[in-house]
Amino acid sequence: MTAQSNQSAYFKNVGKIKFEGKDSDNPLAYRYYDKDAKVGDKTLEDHMKFAVAYWHSFCGDGGDPFGHPTRPMPWNIGNSAEDRAKQKMDAAFEFISKLGLKYYCFHDIDLIDEGENINTFGKRLDFITDYALEKQAEFDVKVLWGTANLFSHPRYMNGAATNPDFQVVAHAGAQVKNAIDATIKLGGENYVFWGGREGYMSLLNTNMKKELDHMAQFLHMAKDYARKNGFTGTFFIEPKPAEPTKHQYDYDAATVLGFLREYDLMDDFKLNLEVNHATLALHTFEHELQVAANSNALGSIDANRGDYQNGWDTDQFPVNLYELTQAMMIILDSGGIQGGGINFDAKIRRNSTDLEDLFYAHIGGIDLFARALIIAHQILTTSEYKSLLSNRYQSWETSAGLDYEAGKLSLEDLANITGDGSHLKATSGRQEYIENLINRYI
Ligand code: XUL
Ligand code: CO
């Protein structure tokens, strides 16, 4: 057993990250994330369930379409896939436990290289998940969600569940079966579908209706298999409008909810909403959260940020307190995230080449979420914000307003009620007043 002896192998300059309070000037400490502090009736840790994304933190090498890898990855050496995968896992668990976090998220291929075919891959997954079970027990770390990467390999260039070729769909099925097995074996709390290439590049060569029917069939099969094998967690769909395909079927929260309803999947599926994906869909993140919450489907979050200038999926770590406070207001007001948590689907920049940069990035993101949650809670519980909002709808508390909402009025009734309309008065939306209120609490 090498796990114990490897504990400090990769991030030697960093110890356990502690909460030191907002006056601390230690860049390797939390200033707001006091995990045991209570906000409302829950601790910060229970509100947020932070997770580290295996792919960005331990697989991404800093390479981009214009240049070679830049990142030192001392765990990625050795000839055998098994050795490299174990070293990567040692590094991951050292990192997660030094941050004091409890969760990670993975794609199947993040854990270990696929090898020559799906059978080799299945055996390799068995091997590495045995090791993961040991590491999880040793560090008291859990899986927030697992998923299958159905977008990187060339076989999926025309999609996975929506591929025009049935044989590719069958292969995707085998891969998802193994990824679900791995997630169940590791006690994963949820399972995610992000449809990277489930969409089209050109409608000229695409039978959209057929592909959507196939995708729904695939999700039903995956859900039935997982349930049959004891999985009690939630399935999440992660919407994204485009990239890598020109048009993705899971465009945004509203589109996905329409799909889930059409194909009778609402009982088992909720949404995993990513900040950068909302930006790409030309929505605010809080819009996406509210749409999901309206349908009781706010399941989990992929935390990051995009770039407002270039429109790419840059997956940067979050820094904007004003925006995140608004997001947290919606999360808290709708009763919190259901089943999932906050997964840092974010990567350090190509030129962030110190091993410690991964710590600074996560500490910043975690502290920002903690701070936003604390502020949002104060706004919702101690400010006039909630009454400003409900006052705006005061007229619905009249008997006519209540009758309208109860479906008791007709269009003729509305015409009678309004008379000649001369009593209408302008009512301010007071947007700037409320914007200032948020800033006062920040
Ligand atoms: C891609 C993305 C994925 C999913 C998991 O934009 O967000 O990493 O989160 O497949
Ligand atoms: Co994501």
Q: Are residues 122 and 205 in the same domain?
A: yes
CB 228 within 8 A of CB 272: no
Check if 189 has its Cβ closer than 6 Å to any atom of ligand 1.
Answer: no
Instruction: Give the torsion sign (CA, 397, 402, 405, 406).
Output: positive
Active-site residue 47, yes or no? Answer: no
- Which residues share a beta bridge with 146? 106, 191
Q: Are residues 350 and 434 in the same domain?
A: no
Q: Are residues 321 and 333 in the same domain?
A: yes
Mean pLDDT per 10-residue section of the chain, whose length is 442 residues: 54 97 98 98 97 98 96 94 98 98 98 97 98 98 98 98 98 98 98 97 98 98 98 98 97 99 98 98 98 98 95 96 98 97 98 98 98 98 98 98 98 97 94 98 97
The residue from 382, 399, 430 where one domain ends is: 382
Q: How many domains is the chain partitioned into structurally?
A: 2
Check if 194 has its Cβ closer than 6 Å to any atom of ligand 1.
Answer: yes
Q: Are residues 376 and 409 in the same domain?
A: no
Ligand nearest to the CA of 192: 1
Determine the residue of 143, 145, 150, 240 to mutate for testing ligand 1's pocket, defined as the one with the most ligand atoms within 8 A of the Cβ atom: 240
The residue from 382, 407, 424 where one domain ends is: 382
Task: Report the separation in Å between the CA atom of 418 and the middle of ligand 2, taken as the mean of its atom positions.
Answer: 49
Active-site residue 110, yes or no? Answer: yes
Q: Are residues 323 and 263 in the same domain?
A: yes
| Burial call 185-203: b when 16+ CB within 10 Å, e when fewer | bbebbbbbbbbbbbbbeee
Residue 247 neighbours by CB distance under 10 Å: 14
CB 17 within 8 A of CB 101: no
Check residue 8 and give its pLDDT: 57
Task: Report the separation in Å between the CA atom of 335 and the middle of ligand 2, taken as the mean of its atom positions.
Answer: 22
Block residue for tokens 């591929």: 163
Domain assignment of residue 239, given as a range: 2-382
Gap between the Cα atoms of 373 and 328, Å rounded? 6
30 φ, ψ (degrees, to nearest 5): -85, 140
Beta strands in 136-295 (DSSP E): 142-147, 190-193, 199-200, 234-237, 247-248, 269-274
Identify the burial level of 81 via C-beta atoms within 10 angstroms of its C-beta, where 0-12 means exposed, 13-18 middle and 19 or more buried. middle
The residue from 345, 361, 382 where one domain ends is: 382
Gap between the Cα atoms of 269 and 190, Å rounded? 10
Task: Report the separation in Å between the CA atom of 315 and the middle of ligand 1, taken as the mean of its atom positions.
Answer: 10
Q: Are residues 159 and 102 in the same domain?
A: yes
Token digits of residue 13 = 């300059």
| Burial call 337-358: b when 16+ CB within 10 Å, e when fewer | bbbbbbbbbbbbebeeeebeeb
Q: Considering only CA atoms, which of 377, 277, 293 is closest in space to residue 334? A: 293
Ligand nearest to the CA of 160: 1
Block residue for tokens 């025309």: 158
Task: Report the separation in Å between the CA atom of 298 and the middle of ligand 2, taken as the mean of its atom positions.
Answer: 15
Catalytic residue among 110, 250, 252, 302: 110
Q: Are residues 348 and 393 in the same domain?
A: no
Q: Are residues 237 and 203 in the same domain?
A: yes
Structure-derived torsion over alpha carbons of residues 372, 373, 378, 381, reported in degrees to the nearest 10: 140
Instruction: Give the torsion sign (CA, 362, 235, 377, 40).
Output: negative
- At residue 48's C-alpha, the angle toward residues 43 and 53, to 5°, is 140
Q: Are residues 37 and 176 in the same domain?
A: yes
User: Ligand 2 being an ion, which residues bring their Cβ within 5 A of it?
Assistant: 274, 302, 345
Gap between the Cα atoms of 287 and 281, Å rounded? 11
In the chain, the amino acid numbered 217 is Q
Q: Are residues 13 and 73 in the same domain?
A: yes
CATH number of the domain to which 134 belongs: 3.20.20.150
Q: Are residues 159 and 276 in the same domain?
A: yes
Q: Are residues 413 and 375 in the same domain?
A: no
Determine the residue of 302, 304, 313 to mutate for testing ligand 1's pocket, defined as the one with the most ligand atoms within 8 A of the Cβ atom: 302
Check if 302 has its Cβ closer than 6 Å to any atom of ligand 1.
Answer: yes
